[in-house]
Chains A and B, each alone.
Chain A
Amino acid sequence: MATLTPTLTLNSADATSDTVNFSVTDTLNVTGDVVSLSRVALSTSDLTLFASASYSRSYVYLKNTDSSIAMDIDFGTTASFNLAAGEFAFFPWHGSQNILAVADSGTPVLEYALWEA
């Protein structure tokens, strides 16, 4: 069993009068499949990035490496979020819905990795 250590840091000196500066970390156990850090060029057609049939509960890292084009990340057909240029996400994925990725336009490159809990 391997361990994964994710750390999130948020800071801002001017979002409010009180400085925002906090960090959170955790140690996660990885017991299943691993999709190593990879990149894929998206298109304006849906790409099934992670199929629910292939993975159980997992931790997912996504980053839009493009400098201008946004992309949509969909959970099945009902939930979605938009990753603008340079943005990233890290979250536990239940694995009940496919994770799909589609470019708003062009062929932006998505960086991704998955670790099965």
Chain B
Amino acid sequence: MATTNASVSISSSDLQPGHNLSINATSTLMKTGLTTGLELMEMGNASVAVGSPTEHALAVALGTTDSANWVYICNTSTDDTYNLEVVISDTVIGYLNAGEWLWMPWNMGDSAAEIEIQAIGGTNTLEYAIFKSAWTLPAAS
């Protein structure tokens, strides 16, 4: 069983007068049931151009509903006019501006739950990591 720890800290010294914001959270990535660590990991870099196809599938969904999967995506572009649209289940979750990242669970319950990304402003570069509970290789063509 693998032990993978995720930690996030969020801080600000100027958000509220007289109060420094400091949020810290840590968790171990577990399969559903909280007893077995996630063992499947996919990491990489990619670039996404504006144009056809408009949206690109970063990861296709082949798992089961509410299975424990985690997604890290970082827009590594340095041009602040570049944005990366992140879509799951045809719903726009958010936009990652240059340098921004997200960390969130991913419910890959059905094929419609794939993670799609779209470049805005120019060819965006990104890095990503996906931790999965289970994975089935697609059939060879």
Q: Is the CB of A8 within 8 A of B12?
A: no
B25 interface residue, CB < 8 Å from A?
Answer: yes
Q: Is the CB of A10 within 8 A of B106?
A: no
Most chain A C-beta atoms within 10 Å of own C-beta, residue among B5, B10, B11? B10
Cα separation A4 to B68 with both chains bound (whole Å)? 28
Partner pick for B107 among A10, A11, A34, A80, CB 8 A cutoff: A80
Residues of A within 8 A of B90 (CB): 78-79
Q: Is the CB of A82 within 8 A of B27?
A: no
- Closest B residue by C-beta to A115: B15
Partner pick for B25 among A2, A88, A92, A94, CB 8 A cutoff: A88
Give chain A's interface secondary structure class.
strand
Cα separation A96 to B8 with both chains bound (whole Å)? 25
A50 to chain B, nearest CB (A): 12
Residues of B within 8 A of A82 (CB): 66, 68, 105, 107
Residues of B within 8 A of A3 (CB): 12-15
Number of interface residues of B (CB under 8 A): 51
B50 interface residue, CB < 8 Å from A?
Answer: no
A100 interface residue, CB < 8 Å from B?
Answer: no
Partner pick for B100 among A15, A26, A80, CB 8 A cutoff: A26
Cα separation A28 to B13 with both chains bound (whole Å)? 12
CB-CB contacts of B48-88 with A at 8 A, as 1s and 0s?
00000000000000000010100010100000000000001
A and B contact pairs by CB, cutoff 8 A, 21 listed? A4-B10, A7-B10, A8-B7, A8-B103, A9-B6, A10-B72, A11-B4, A12-B5, A20-B4, A24-B72, A24-B101, A61-B8, A78-B91, A82-B66, A82-B105, A85-B34, A88-B25, A90-B102, A92-B94, A92-B95, A97-B91
